[in-house]
Amino acid sequence: MGHASVSKQLIIVDTEFLPTKLSKSTAQNGFTLIELIIVIVILGVLAVTAVPRFFNFSSDAKKSVLFGIKSSLDTASSLTYLACQLDQNCNPSLPSDGTVSTRVCIDKPCQPGEFISTHYGYPNASNAGIVRTVDREGIFNNSGGTSLSFYLDETSNLNCRIRYIRAAGPGEKPTISVFSSDC
């Protein structure tokens, strides 16, 4: 009998460590693949329609172009001034009057029509001055001989342009201004 009771105790001990019942949880622990795909599609549609309203890439690009052209104009006018100082036929202390002493040639030998008209050694605000110096496509509008405006398109938007004002006197650089509030 002692043997049977030990055996019975072992069975009782063995059954204590067995799980009573394997149950499946009925609660959902995540999203299904279809639900995730639908959320991603909705976010994509919102991004495509909303992002252009927050970021105006066209305006930023136009402003960058204007500041790039301003740098080109500044560099070209400085190089022309340097060329005028080195050219024995150019006098950087004279205003533009159309004489040989107020024009310079960057590429030697200079052909007719390649001279750059200068005003106190810097390119004049004209087609024969700064426009010829930078050789830039665009819409230039000469407004009275002392200044010239550059526009990116035919609209001639006054708030999306560059204005080049020729040098005011000997040793003074031209004024180059960017207007980009409405590009």
Summarize pLDDT for 157-167 with one digit per residue, the tens: 888 889 999 99
What does the pLDDT look like over 36-56, one tens digit per residue?
999 999 999 888 887 777 777
DSSP conformation class of 56: -
How far CA 157 is from CA of 53, 144, 161, 175, 179, in Å, comes to: 22, 18, 7, 20, 9
Convert 151-177 to b/e letters by CB count within 10 Å (16 or more is b): bbeeeebeebbbbbebbeeeeeebebe
Query: Higher pLDDT residue, 5 or 46?
Result: 46
What does the pLDDT look like over 83-104, one tens digit per residue?
888 887 787 887 876 666 677 8
Average pLDDT over residues 9-21: 51
What pTM was computed for the model?
0.66
**Alpha helical stretches, state H, 17-136:** 33-54, 57-86, 132-134
- Whether 104 contacts 92, CB under 8 Å: no
Q: What is the residue whose two structure tokens read 């402003």? A: 63
Query: Higher pLDDT residue, 51 or 82?
Result: 82
Identity of the residue numbered 87: D
